Amino acid sequence: IRTIDVPLSPDEWRAYRDMRDDMVHWLESGALGISRHAAVKVLRLAQITSGLLGGIEADLEDDPANEELMRSLGLEGQNAPPPAPAPPDHMAVIGRSKLDALLDLQEQMLREDSNLKLLVWFRFVPELRRWLEVVSERFPGIACGAVCGKSVTGVPVRQEREQAMRLLHPRTSPPGPAAVGGTYGTGGLGLNFTAFSTVIHSSHIYEDYKRRQSDKRVDRPGQRRVVTQFDLVATGPKGQRTIDHVILEARRKKQDLNDWTTAAWVRALMEE
């Protein structure tokens, strides 16, 4: 796996540091016992590294993929509402550093292999949707698809998924270049993606089993080419560490985030 550093823009880095410092304040204040807002802040740190911000409170409540994060923050089973009604949380685009890095890498790969079949994994649905919209404009003629729990191309989810499966499966994949994006947890254990051999992880998740599950859709029996993987890792403008480093290092060291103390979280977040 090759790691590619992606420096955030000044605006993205400013938003990241503000959210990080706010998160550390929550951790150190002991307010975690009465509020789920701290878990939202952790997810938003990851979101900011992809140039997006907001619109995830509902995801935190409804998505079981975040259970491990909630436990690690001491918030498991807490259903107390916030002390006052929160205003509507809308998604905002604050930058595109990682998106541009992904597109530039894809373009470079296409110059080297005009029949490139590229699979990209994302943590958040909006970043998958944004990438697909730009890919269709920047690389016209390339077959595109999405593997996601929600429709991201405007067609029904089942139809969208079937179209992507035809691109990914070696028996039905057409000749020529193709690009498919997916969200972690939607690459089921029985799926065969071996028509593709180049994988980019544009954003990252805490759940190690979901990362391994995604990897095994491509690197499995029937794969006839060497699988090449890339991790895009956001940094500060001067190479400072971000939540991307925290997630990847914890998973590579096989650390259980459930065992992390508040002090461990503070150290990990503040280390630059």
Per-residue pLDDT of the chain (272 residues; tens, 9 = 90+): 899 999 999 999 999 999 999 888 877 876 554 445 666 777 889 999 999 988 765 444 444 445 555 555 554 554 443 433 334 457 789 999 999 999 999 999 999 999 999 999 999 999 999 999 999 899 998 999 999 888 898 889 889 989 999 999 999 999 999 999 999 887 555 678 999 999 999 999 888 888 888 888 888 888 888 899 999 999 999 999 999 999 999 888 887 766 677 788 888 888 87
Q: Can you tell me which residue has the tokens 């029949």? A: 115
For residue 144, the model assigns a pLDDT of: 95
For residue 32, the model assigns a pLDDT of: 53
206 Rama class: left (phi>0) / alpha (psi -120 to 50) / beta: alpha
Q: Are 17 and 114 in contact (CB under 8 A)?
A: no
Q: Which of 111, 128, 97 is nearest to 201 (CA)?
A: 128
Kindly compute the dihedral angle of the four CA atoms of residues 87, 91, 92, 95, in this order, to the nearest 10 degrees.
150
Give this prediction's pTM.
0.86
Q: Are 152 and 146 in contact (CB under 8 A)?
A: yes
Q: Which of 213, 177, 176, 219 is nearest to 199 (CA)?
A: 219
For residue 24, the model assigns a pLDDT of: 86
For residue 258, the model assigns a pLDDT of: 63
For residue 82, the model assigns a pLDDT of: 41
**Could you tell me which residues come within 8 angstroms of residue 240 by beta carbon, excluding any fewer than 6 positions away?**
13, 272
For residue 74, the model assigns a pLDDT of: 54
Q: Are 232 and 200 in contact (CB under 8 A)?
A: yes
